[in-house]
Chain A
Amino acid sequence: MRQSLGLIAAFALALGSTSSFAADKSIVGLITKTNTNPFFVKMKAGADEAAKANDVELRSFAGKVDGDNESQVAAIEDLIAAGAKGILITPNDSRAIVPAVEKARAAGILVIALDTPLDPPNAADATFATDNFLAGEMIGQWAAKTLGAKAASAKIALLDLNVNQISVDVARDQGFLKGFGIDLGNPAKIGDEKDARIVGHDVTLGSEEGGRKAMENLLQKNPDISLVYTINEPAAAGAYEALRSVGRDKDVLIVSVDGGCPGVRNVKDSVIGATSMQFPLLMAAKGVEAVKTFASGGGKPKSSPGLDFVNTGVELVTDKPVGEMPSIDSAAALKKCWG
């Protein structure tokens, strides 16, 4: 007993000494969903740069796989123990992470959600994110205008993320349908739409492999598919391979969301008709700046007007612009993919 008390005391001392050692630099924690997805790799790069520029110490954590809540809770606990000033987190589970976030905020830490809002959104001090519904709506509108008169008889395949119906997945899918002019039913639910133009939904896990299989199966349901919505660009690349293998790659329109560099190159090669670019690097950089401001006595960041999050922007990327829709071409987009 005495021994273990001694150990605890030593441990506490060690903790105290490290936090006092680091006290001259504010600690900012970055917790991403995984460290495998290039989107989060870019986000980490943005946070790294901003940490150097703002003279704060960045500590990065990530879940092991998409959906891994436990690792993220452990990361929050570590950061509380380390005396962090702010935590930037992309929650793997928007709802389950809330109690851990409350603990961090009770300890006086500024918590900012990046990319994916918490549920409820005000469980974090602020959210820096892409307007995913708008991102979907833009490619939906672009597709409707590009198809013109053919939009009325379009056959649409929707390649979503997974079976969980997470907020980002739902927002992009429903945004696309609204932009295309389809009655949504419940906007918080994928798959309850009644429009006859929808051939079906399938899931891709956001990968090339999943995108190919989903596209093949939907083509079996209806070989006349003319428009494909994809949750992200890897899924779009897989869908394209499926279409190419049956010789339909020239006459089927694919739209997507993300704005990663390989995706933008696919826009250039006409694999993808249009994509909505988001800015993870900016999210992270703004997040680090906000923590710096908060740590030096400034206030908490305020949401964009009319939204419950800070909109980090989204841009339509296409080489075939339509009418009055603002867009950038692939050459311009390549210079700032995910910037």
Chain B
Amino acid sequence: MSDYHFPYLSPRQTRTGEPNAWQLELANAIEAVFTKGAQELDEVVAGLNQSRVRPPSGGEWTAENFKAVMHELGV
């Protein structure tokens, strides 16, 4: 048996490890960009480029690197 104990009341069930500081900052930045009204991909990318959070390789966010990062982290 893995991590089951009755009563099972775990608020975290969908991730296997803790996100790192950068991932947390990125999630917060994305939520902030959405809150400001961004809906389309280019609006999200533009919003992130206004934030302090950089892509893993540094430099600017692009549609491509944003989609790649989300695909990796959102599986």
Q: Do A and B bind each other?
A: no
